[in-house]
Amino acid sequence: MAKIRCPECGHVEETTGLLTVCPNCKADLRGVMEELGHRRERLREVARDDSVTTHEFIVRTKDLHKVYQMGEVEVPALKGVDLNIRRGEYLSIMGPSGSGKSTLFNMVGGLDKPTKGTCFIEEVDMAQLDAFELAWLRCRKIGYIFQTFNLIPVMTAIENVTLPMIFAGMSSDEMMERGAMLLDLVGLGDRLHHKPYELSGGQQQRVAVARSLANNPAIILADEPTGNLDLQTGKEIIDLLKELNEESGVTIISATHDLKMIDVSDRVVHIRDGQVERIENRADLDLEVGSMGAE
Ligand X SMILES: Nc1ncnc2c1ncn2[C@@H]1O[C@H](COP(=O)(O)OP(=O)(O)O)[C@@H](O)[C@H]1O
Site for ligand X, rule CB under 6 A: 68, 70, 75, 77, 95, 97-103
145 to each of 10, 96, 275, how far by Cα in Å?
32, 19, 23
Quote the least distance from Cβ 74 to ligand X, whole Å: 9
Cross-strand bridge partners of residue 124: 121
Of the pair 136, 273, the CB lying nearest another protein is at: 136
> Which chain residues interact with another protein by CB under 8 A?
38, 41-42, 45-46, 48, 50-54, 106, 109, 111-113, 122, 124, 129-133, 135-141, 144, 146, 150-155, 159, 163-164, 166-170, 174, 177-178, 181, 211, 214-216
Quote the least distance from Cβ 92 to ligand X, whole Å: 13
Quote the least distance from Cβ 119 to another protein, whole Å: 13
Q: Where are the alpha helices (DSSP H) in the chain?
A: 30-46, 101-108, 131-136, 157-167, 172-185, 201-212, 231-248, 260-264, 282-286
112 contacts which partner out of Mg ion, ligand X, another protein, none, CB within 5 to 8 A by kind?
A: another protein
Quote the least distance from Cβ 116 to ligand X, whole Å: 15
Question: What distance lies between CA 265 and its chain's CA centroid?
Answer: 12
Cβ contact 191:157 at 8 Å: yes
d(CA 209, CA 170): 19
Determine what percent of the chain falls in helix, strand and coil, rounding each to the nearest 5. 35, 25, 35
Cβ contact 234:260 at 8 Å: yes
Cβ contact 91:266 at 8 Å: yes
262 contacts which partner out of another protein, Mg ion, ligand X, none, CB within 5 to 8 A by kind?
A: none
Of the pair 223, 266, the CB lying nearest another protein is at: 223
68 contacts which partner out of ligand X, another protein, Mg ion, none, CB within 5 to 8 A by kind?
A: ligand X
d(CA 135, CA 184): 27
Local structure of residue 137 (DSSP, 8 states): I
Measured from each CB, the residue nearest to Mg ion is 102
> Which chain residues interact with Mg ion by CB under 5 A?
102
Quote the least distance from Cβ 75 to another protein, whole Å: 13
177 contacts which partner out of Mg ion, ligand X, another protein, none, CB within 5 to 8 A by kind?
A: another protein
Quote the least distance from Cβ 280 to another protein, whole Å: 27
